[in-house]
Chain A
């Protein structure tokens, strides 16, 4: 599909353009979401090994929460930078 045509479709359904940083962020969050439910989470669902004293299943959830936090922070700073560039 041509780029123009794609933009047209995007215009028809959504408002304006979307910055690549935001697309990256959404992809990362979808990936985290995938690993928090079936089937992604099944890879880390066992009780052992203990990670820092926590069962793997518990440690994994904590890890995903921290990863989500880092992704949010990165988006926030990228947004600030983009807004700064606009001004």
Chain B
């Protein structure tokens, strides 16, 4: 059989299995908003583990990760470093959110905040912020899928068709099964991706250098020792500074647990215990980034001078003269990485946009049935908008994602205050959140004005916390009944 046919066949089989695993749960969930958005709170540890793990490992990890290791060396370690601290808050926030959701019917992060701080405005603004961040994020996943299929098939599959076909599959299972479709397909995609990453990560250093130690020795012998010394290299190839590395780790860690699509999985858990256990097991998923980075390192000496670092993985695979079946499997692995984040983002953008945005500004609240239908229609619209961006504009895979991390991290202080600080007030929360976002965006646009070369999110967080504390203490305390509901959500019975 011809190489192209084999690749196409493997990709087609992979897509079919993804579609089926994503569609099956549609027969089991109720036809309500709770069923679509939170899976009737029925996710077990197995599914939750993959949802939490896979939805964060995206095209960024599979393509951007090796790209960073290849061009910036030790700088790429930051991707592993922040995960292990970043997941911890979810261990504490998640069960609280779950109990409140179970008792009062919440299914999104903004609903919690809007209720605690008695502000519809907050809910609408978070909805707008989420959709604004999620559309480019989804676009990135589509770009990754289209790009990999195009390069690996040597142009056989046009970019627009690769992204299109992949995301039609995602649209179908998200439309019918909601979050449970995301969950089941992520379990399949996650396992597939892990196996592919380990196989490639161990195979490439062995095939090219004869082992992992030999590979790193070869990198040092070739005069690249500096790239293996933390904090690695900056984008321009000079040494990265500790300010940059440390603040990138901190901001990413702070923002990690409060990404709206990530946080809202707390509501889908079967019990607080299954949620806790999934969080505890998360670092085992992080270790999967080790082989991903090894793939990037394996190309440093063997394939120098690749301009577009993000394309290093397909580039290496094409040079090695591998059997068609391996290339086909890799293609499917890259699609799994893209889809397992894309589906979660798509689902969350639609759910948050309608429930926290549109529903709040309507005079008469929507019925459960129409709200669910509207969310499903938004899935299609948001998918289409992101696809149009993907085929029309040209974006770097990493830059956009990094830009959004500082903005998302600004949600953390208000979430913390919601659960743990009873003096936090509506005015304080609004001032902190929006002050933080403004400062973050300002330094994102004018990086030269930063006093120290730190991540812009750090400045945002400093202003955010000062405003949250200062304005809260200067204003009248919020209604104690409402405050206590959130404060005491740590107890097993509300």
Contacts and interface: CB of A to CB of B under 8 A. Distances in A.
Given A64-B81, A69-B283, A79-B276, A53 B420 contact: no
Contacts of A15: 419-420, 422, 487-488, 490
B332 to A, nearest CB: 27
A57 B219 CA distance: 14
B84 A68 contact: yes
Interface stretch (B14-22, B56-64, B246-254, B392-400): B246-254
Given A15-B487, A58-B74, A58-B77, A53 B213 contact: yes
Nearest to A33: B85
A34 to B, nearest CB: 10
Could you say which interface size class chain A belongs to? 35 or more
A50 to B, nearest CB: 5
A53 B211 contact: yes
A12 B490 CA distance: 16
Contacts of B479: none
Interface string A71-87: 01101100110010010
A68 B253 CA distance: 13
A46 interface: yes
30 contacts: A14-B420, A15-B422, A15-B488, A32-B84, A36-B82, A36-B85, A37-B81, A38-B243, A38-B245, A41-B231, A42-B230, A45-B229, A45-B231, A53-B213, A53-B216, A54-B212, A55-B74, A55-B228, A57-B230, A58-B228, A62-B287, A64-B84, A65-B80, A65-B84, A65-B287, A68-B85, A68-B88, A72-B88, A72-B91, A72-B283
B242 A57 contact: no
B462 interface: no
Given A45-B229, A57-B230, A72-B280, A62 B290 contact: yes
A13, A36, A38: most-surrounded residue (chain B CB, <10 A): A36
B83, B249, B423: most-surrounded residue (chain A CB, <10 A): B249
